[in-house]
Structure 1
Amino acid sequence: MHAEKAERFVQQYEALCLKVLRDCRVFSSNPDYEDYLQILRIALFENSLRFADCHSKQVTLIYHFLRWRLCDAQRKQQRQQKILQRAKSNWQERSLLSEDDIEWTDQLAHLWPKLSLGEQRFLYSRIQGLTYQQIRERYHVSAGTVCNWKKRLAQHWAENDEAS
């Protein structure tokens, strides 16, 4: 029953989602348009109970909530792209890219969004040449945490290899 109400709520505010996208300069020609729209729909669906009692005067509240979600998603994507760019340029500085290196960078770009923040930190730090001790000190974590990041990263990498 709740799911049906939530779906109706999302449909009711679909136009508001489109307005948020337009106001944030995300147009249908943007390759991430559908992804961002889906993020907004999910945010509405998850918060439908919270906003269900809102009166029409509080549409502004829902608008600002959706805009915040979209800006947050854009910021995360930009941050991931910057980190990937740094990792790629750092890798290129170390050696000329061979065919294996290009394949590795493609795998990394595909895998990166699936990693947790800790796994991303570990990978980025290792690409920069930091030791385990330096990683521990940089992020103020235990040796066990660094080992867990490494272990989960290896699992993700293996799963990605199997899927390829």
Structure 2
Amino acid sequence: MQDQELEQLVQDYQRLFHKVLRKCSIFPGQPDYEDHMQELRLLFFLKAKPYESRGLFEAENNVSYLYRFLLWSIIDKKRKIDPKDHETNDEEVLYLQQAESNYAEVDFLDEFLATYKQLQEKDQKKVLSLLENTDLSRQNRHRYRMRLRKLFKEKH
């Protein structure tokens, strides 16, 4: 087929390309819509190029076959997304999550220290004994916790 004939054939099958992309949940306005559309045009062009005429191409490739061929090529492409593109994103997200958790921990410790300094000396000793895990009976541990909960709630 001549280039002009191929270009006209691609234009005539434009609605098929839109239908394939819709089926794959790729809609106009999405960032990669035009990339996928161009991919379909190229696949279609390469599929039609070896044929001598439009009639031969359409005789051997009915619309349902072309639809399935293009659909599976897009599905396959979506499935085989380059993992290198996503690794950097995953690493960046992981770094940000760790940094965020560190900030949250620092904020928590600052808040804890501020509240701890406001406690009376006997209550500070109770906090230390709970944190150091000294040999306290279950009953004393429970009493200390209840007393400290009450104090911490009053401070906030």
TM-score, with structure 2 as normaliser: 0.49
Larger Rg: 2
